[in-house]
Amino acid sequence: MKKPLLVVRDLAVAFDTDGGAVHAVNGVSYTLHEGETLGIVGESGSGKSVHVLAMLGLIPRPPGRITGGQVLFEGRDLLALKERELRKIRGGAIGFVFQDPMSSLNPGMTVAAQIVEPLRIHLGLDARAARARARELLDLVRIPNAASRLDQYPHEFSGGQRQRVMIAIGLSCRPKLLIADEATTALDVTVQAEIVALVQELKRELGMAIIWITHDLGVVAGISDTVQVMYAGRILERGPVDDIFADPRNAYTLGLLRSLPDLSGGRAGRRRLHQIEGAPPDMRHLPPGDPFAPRNAFATPRCRTEMPPLAQAPGAAPGHLVAAWYDLPKLLAAEAAR
Amino acid sequence: MSVQDYPIVSVRDLSKHYPLRSWWGGKASVFRAVEGVSFDIRPGETLGLVGESGSGKSTIGRAVTMLNPPTSGTIAFEGTDLAKLSAGAMRKMRARIQTVFQDPYAALNPRMSAGDYVAEAFKLHRRSMRGPERREAVAALFQRVGLDPRFMGRYPHQFSGGQRQRICIARAIALKPSFIVADEPIAALDVSIQAQVVNLLQDLQDEMGLSYLFISHDLRMVRYLCHRVAVLWRGRIVELAEVDALYADPRHPYTRRLLAAVPVPHPAEERARLAARDLAGHDQPPDGPLTEVAPGHWVAMPGGSAG
């Protein structure tokens, strides 16, 4: 078994608003091992993005507050570090790529300057070495004619190329962990395919761990070792990717998988899409108990009053954890028998 | 309702050019956002329009509804050339042609209640309708799109993203149109909500015999929902076919590349696909006139020959 790289324990984050506190992350715990790719799936308000921003010290405080927990990266608690120390890790041992490259890149700085900066800060390279490395990085992410494009500004790059530049910056210091939050969502599907392939290749080369946050179950299926399903600031299910897709144990995971269009057979045989009724909860007024219970046809009375713990799913692969008071396989068998 | 054979919308040789101003008084050129696009949409049919950013999908959608009229080409709706209509006649026609956009929050007026927003359609086009009758009609529309009529007095920010899209759909169907341009109508919605909206669009089509131009980058949803699909590349249609034929037997190299890039939500299949993927072949795809290579299956090929 590989060594744990990142250990998140009981992380909780809230935002103070005029309408009361928004409980965005409500006790998230998991371990990521060296070289592991974790796909995190969830919708708006699931806490999937906020919890990584919180661990990187990137949520504005106020209104944000970390109300509890620990985030151990190579044994050091990121939440206890001073901003100055955190900055050494962020962009260094932990690289990150967010959705919108236009707002992450500085429009007034050349691409070279933005790649060179972390190299000089984190790796202590001199100007000439850093520039040479920046060129290599643009080659690595397959920007054509890298040498001549170093001194261009972000607006001179296409959307896909800007995202590649962000990935180059994210990878520049050979991170042990790359966090990608909807990194390909805004891109065309052919560009997304290239970037996913590129990250896979770099992962093999550099041996880094990846947290890939997305709502695209297709991308998650292909690149993840482990999948984690989040809802209303909690982990509802987590486990090996094949097991999560083949044997989901939480009704929300099942709902997401079932809502994918069934494309077997031709147009004439199409069945109505399975839909999850209702809408995600108001994070200011979370229901007591399991937050998905109000939308869950399988919910038991206990689901409405008490949050189930995230625990090994009975009869599932080792490490397949679920938070549910109900036994989904049994309920599905009963449903099929009817 | 079955898909009829005659077109409700007939687009011929549609082009949209934008002048590019040059700097030092050099020769001005034009950007050809859409070039020579033709297609028909039959009653009760959903035509998918796919392609990547900059391919001209949304430009076509706005040209077809005359929100942004084309530079050249004709758009015939139920046999009437829209360009030849007077302003008044076009206003009447607008009741029959509606649009649903990607971002319902941008489409809604933040200071207008949801009920008033839907009622506006009647105020503009059914002037004889009285207040109570209008209220009743709006309540029925709310019901129809799955919204509680008690929420008619609420404002856009009090609804979720999916509910806002339902409000926009309620307004779009208020005047019983026969054709709706849906421009990325589910792209901004959460996955669990997308199915709700797609099911609603399908139900409305079945009930009202609506035709859709469904503009989307979601190639799996297009395969699920559309009867026929047109693939755009740099403002031109490179392939147009029945949905099953297009996905099972894509003929144009660009269509193949596009479909090959779509991830499959099954771990073993997707890993195999990633491993086998050939990322080479980024050459300019061939271009040429559309040629019918099989009944109803049109492909752009140089010199018109199907390779």
Asked whether the predicted pLDDT for residue B1 surpasses 50, the reply is: no
Distance in angstroms (rounded) separating the CA atoms of residues A70 and A11: 6
* B201 within 8 A of B211, measured Cβ to Cβ: no
Q: What is the pLDDT of residue B283?
A: 62
What is the amino acid identity at position B145? V
Asked whether the predicted pLDDT for residue B192 surpasses 70, the reply is: yes
- For the record, the structure tokens of A57 come out as 């010290």
Q: In terms of Cα–Cα distance, which of B211, B231, B237, B233 is closest to B13?
A: B237
Q: Please give, rounded to a whole number of angstroms, the shortest distance from the CA of A214 to a CA of chain B.
A: 11
Q: Please give, rounded to a whole number of angstroms, the shortest distance from the CA of A241 to a CA of chain B.
A: 7
Q: In terms of Cα–Cα distance, which of B140, B153, B149, B147 is closest to B112?
A: B153
CB proximity A245 to B under 8 Å? yes
Q: How does pLDDT run along chain A (338 residues), one tens digit per residue?
A: 589 999 999 999 999 988 888 999 999 999 999 999 999 999 888 999 999 999 999 888 889 999 999 999 999 999 999 999 998 898 889 998 887 655 678 888 899 888 888 888 888 888 899 999 899 888 877 788 888 898 999 888 887 788 888 888 888 888 999 999 988 887 788 888 888 888 888 888 888 999 999 989 999 999 999 999 999 999 999 999 999 999 999 999 999 999 998 887 788 888 889 999 888 888 888 888 999 999 999 999 999 999 999 999 999 999 999 999 999 999 999 988 88
DSSP strand pairing (B211-215 vs A321-322): unpaired
pLDDT above 70: percentage of residues in chain B: 92
Q: What is the pLDDT of residue A45?
A: 84
Q: What is the pLDDT of residue B24?
A: 66
Closest Cβ opposite residue A263 in set B190, B224, B273: B224
**For the ranges A143-157, B139-153, B191-205, which has the lowest average pLDDT?**
A143-157
The winner for highest mean pLDDT among A111-115, B143-147, B189-193 is B143-147
Distance in angstroms (rounded) separating the CA atoms of residues B169 and A61: 39
Residues of B in contact with A275 (CB under 8 A): 192, 195-196, 199
Q: For an interface test with A, give the residue of B148, B192, B274 to mutate (most A CBs within 10 A).
A: B192
Q: In terms of Cα–Cα distance, which of A30, A72, A62 is closest to A47?
A: A30
CA B118, B120, B126, B130 dihedral sign is: positive
A259: nearest CA partner in chain B: B195
Sheet hosting strand A64-73, strand order edge to edge: A20-33, A4-17, A64-73, A76-77
ipTM of predicted complex: 0.86
- For the record, the structure tokens of A71 come out as 């985030």
A257: nearest CA partner in chain B: B265
Using 50, 70 and 90 to split pLDDT, how confident is the model at B216? very high
pTM here is: 0.89
**A112: Cβ–Cβ under 8 A, 6 or more apart, which residues?**
A131, A134, A150, A151
Q: For an interface test with A, give the residue of B53, B191, B202 to mutate (most A CBs within 10 A).
A: B191
Is A267–B244 a contact, with Cβ atoms under 8 angstroms apart?
yes
Asked whether the predicted pLDDT for residue B285 surpasses 90, the reply is: no
Residues of B in contact with A49 (CB under 8 A): none
Mean pLDDT on B274-289: 71
User: Using the 8-state DSSP alphabet, how is residue B2 labeled?
Assistant: P
Residues of B in contact with A261 (CB under 8 A): 220-221, 223-225
Q: What is the pLDDT of residue B279?
A: 56
Distance in angstroms (rounded) separating the CA atoms of residues A133 and A119: 8
Residues of B in contact with A256 (CB under 8 A): 191-192
Distance in angstroms (rounded) separating the CA atoms of residues A22 and B159: 17
CB proximity A275 to B under 8 Å? yes
Q: For an interface test with A, give the residue of B270, B273, B278 to mutate (most A CBs within 10 A).
A: B270
Q: Which helix (H) or strand (E) holds B166?
A: helix B161-173
Closest Cβ opposite residue B263 in set A200, A219, A280: A219
Using 50, 70 and 90 to split pLDDT, how confident is the model at B20? confident
DSSP strand pairing (B46-50 vs B228-233): parallel
By three-state DSSP, how is residue B91 classified? helix
Mean pLDDT on B185-201: 90
Query: For chain A, what is the HEC assignment?
Result: CCCEEEEEEEEEEEEEECCEEEEEEEEEEEEEECCCEEEEECCCCCCHHHHHHHHCCCCCCCCEEEEEEEEEECCEEHHHCCHHHHHHHECCCEEEECCCHHHHCCCCCCHHHHHHHHHHHHHCCCHHHHHHHHHHHHHHCCCCCHHHHCCCCHHHCCHHHHHHHHHHHHHCCCCCEEEEECCCCCCCHHHHHHHHHHHHHHHHHHCCEEEEEECCHHHHHHHCCEEEEEECCEEEEEEEHHHHHHCCCCHHHHHHHHCCCCCCCCHHHCCCCCCCCCCCCCCCCCCCCCCCHHHCCCCCHHHHCCCCCCEECCCCCCCCEECCCCCHHHHHHHHHHC
Is B192–A274 a contact, with Cβ atoms under 8 angstroms apart?
no
Is B192–A43 a contact, with Cβ atoms under 8 angstroms apart?
yes
Residue at token pair 């007095």:
B153
A and B: number of Cβ contacts within 8 A: 119
Mean pLDDT of chain B: 90
A240: nearest CA partner in chain B: B267
